[in-house]
Each structure stands twice: as structure tokens, then as C-alpha cells.
Amino acid sequence: MSDLVLHEHVSGPRGERVLVRRSARRRRTVSITRREGDLVISIPATFSARLEKQWVAKMVDQLVAKEARGTPARRSDTSLLEMAREVSEAYLAGRAQPSSVTWSTRQNQRWGSCTPSDGTIRLSHQLQGMPDYVVRSVMMHELVHLLVPGHGPEFKALMENYPQAEKAQGFLDGVSWAKNLPPEEEGVIGQQGPESTLQRAR
């Protein structure tokens, strides 16, 4: 595994590490596959650092979309409120009690928001299809804001009660980074086995 290099600032759809392998035998293809809990992306050895970043993001983003298609149907607003109550009971001793939790199509620059004065929470529709632990982490973030303004020591201490907060943040950072890349080269999508995706770089 010594030929694998960790690609920082990007994680897989389940919080996996992303490892990159440069292959002298590859000319135009890029592939992604799961291996021992990590994601391994193989690229041509001739790729520049810029192309590597673009294709790593492209392949991870494609995998996120592929796995999202296999997730359960869209959660309803009612189920979001139930989730909020579960998260509050489990990690905040039930102290945060939102009056409503809804999906919002206006949340394009942030994952969630809340209004402490009326107890409402809004989650970005972009979270739909993401792993449950990620949605719950954003929910936890907004629930804590019902109790604590800002992101000071008290906020951070309460967020630490949610064990997958850091993992979820890594996932969201990866998604955000991929979305903000410049336009990429188009590729033809193919498949290599049930958990591997291949694209041809042009």
C-alpha cells in the first residue's frame, strides 16, 4: 500500500479516507474502488496536481450521487421533527425542543439554519440522500443553536456530545469542495464491478 497517497480535505460518502494511486500503465482512465474501508482512486501518472484534484473530486462526487440513488425515499418534514426530538433526547438531555423542522430549497450556501425566538429549524434540501449520520449532525448543530448562540466554547462542548460530528463535517467539507471546483473535463462513465466506478479522462 506504499504507492497510495492520502488525498487530504476530501472524504468518501461514509467518511472514508481517499487514497490516490498514480499508475504509469494508465493513459486515459480513472477509477475508484473500495478497499479495506478506504476509497482508492487510480489515475494516470502523467496527471498534473490540478487534474488530480479535479478527478478525485469528480469520482468521489459521482460515488456520492450513485449511493444516494440507493437511499430510502425523501424524509418528510414530520420525520425530520421526529429525528430532531430523538437527537435532542440522546445528546442534549431533551433540552432543545424545536417547534418545527422543515426542508428548505433556499439553503444553498449553508446546510441548516434556525430561529431561536420561534424554535424553527430549516435544513438544506441538498442534504436529502446523504447518510443519516450527516443529516443528524446538521440537526444537532441547529439544535445546539436553539440553546447557545454563536460557536464559542459552550457550543463546541455540546457538539462534542454527538460522536460522529467530526466525521460528518469531513463528509460535508468534501461535498462543498467538490461543488466549488471549476468546470471539469467531460468523461464517459463505465463500471468495474459492483463497487467500482471507472471514467475515461479526455
Give the bridge partners for 11, in sequence order.
Answer: 17
Other CB atoms within 10 A of residue 37 CB: 10
For residue 76, the model assigns a pLDDT of: 80
Edge-first strand listing for the sheet containing 38-44: 4-11, 17-23, 38-44, 29-35, 196-200, 188-191
User: How far is C-alpha 61 from the geometric centre of its chain's CA atoms?
Assistant: 9
- If phi > 0 it is left, if psi is from -120 to 50 it is alpha, else beta; for residue 29 that is beta
What would the pLDDT profile of 22-74 be if each residue is shown by its tens digit? Answer: 998 888 889 988 887 889 999 999 999 999 999 998 898 888 777 666 554 56
What would the pLDDT profile of 14-32 be if each residue is shown by its tens digit? Answer: 678 899 999 988 888 899 8
More confident position, 165 or 13: 165
What would the pLDDT profile of 69-124 be if each residue is shown by its tens digit? Answer: 655 456 787 889 999 999 999 999 999 999 999 998 876 678 999 999 999 999 99
